[in-house]
Structure 1
Amino acid sequence: MVLVFLMVNAYRELTPIVISGRTIPLKTIRKAVFIFCFALTLILISIFLILFNQGNESSFLKVLFEVTSAFGTVGLTTGIAPHLSTFAGLVIILIMFIGRVGPLTMMVSFGFRKTRAIPQYPEEDIAVG
């Protein structure tokens, strides 16, 4: 919902995101955007790796369903899992693990957070679009 409100506010050119009389902090918005982009990138890379590894054995839609189901850990399948190669099976297992643990948890556990001073620059309006 944060991403939906972010898009609506961007369209309306509103600065703060307000939901039910509460302002959503910028930190929360950044986390939501990061998780969405990370998950989408992970799913697309996994689909590419499986399709590249499997060749013409699997269709794009079946692999897409299998990967998104594994990431969401919902337990649904198209039935192609037993026919996947060892590498593709390991990719599915990794996607299941990351989906279960959570993308943000995975990134925080492997990342090192260093706090450093970020310089503040003056703002400038530029023409976009």
Structure 2
Amino acid sequence: MNTQANDQNGPRPPRWGEQERARYAALVGPARRAAGLTQQEVADRAGVSRGTVSNIESNTLVPQAEKLYRVMVALDIYPDDEPRWSETVEAWVNLIASLVDQLPEEARERVMLDVVSRLQAAVSRRQ
């Protein structure tokens, strides 16, 4: 993981508007879970509180650009990693990710294969 977030002379956060910060904040939770890190581990790497990471993930408020950027750098997320899909699809992906995260590990593959199979069937019917 990149530790530049703790470097006082590290990269400066971009000047993001509220919508951009909200969009990037939505990437934090899935990236943290994919990396197998706790909120506290991310907070320690980013030099922010665990509460800040929790607030970013829960979308309770639009985070400050500096803190969001530090968390993103700690997770090796950069603006180039923006989702390549519409906001509607992004919302579904985030919902599915949070539900998958709640499934018992032994059920995930079976459930996700079923979901993918149903999606493929729906796409095939449209063509």
TM-score tier by shorter-chain length is under 0.3
Greater helix proportion: 2
Q: TM-score, normalised by structure 2?
A: 0.23
The structure with the largest alpha-carbon Rg is 1
RCO comparison, higher one (Cα < 8 Å, 6+): 2
**TM-score in terms of structure 1 length:** 0.23
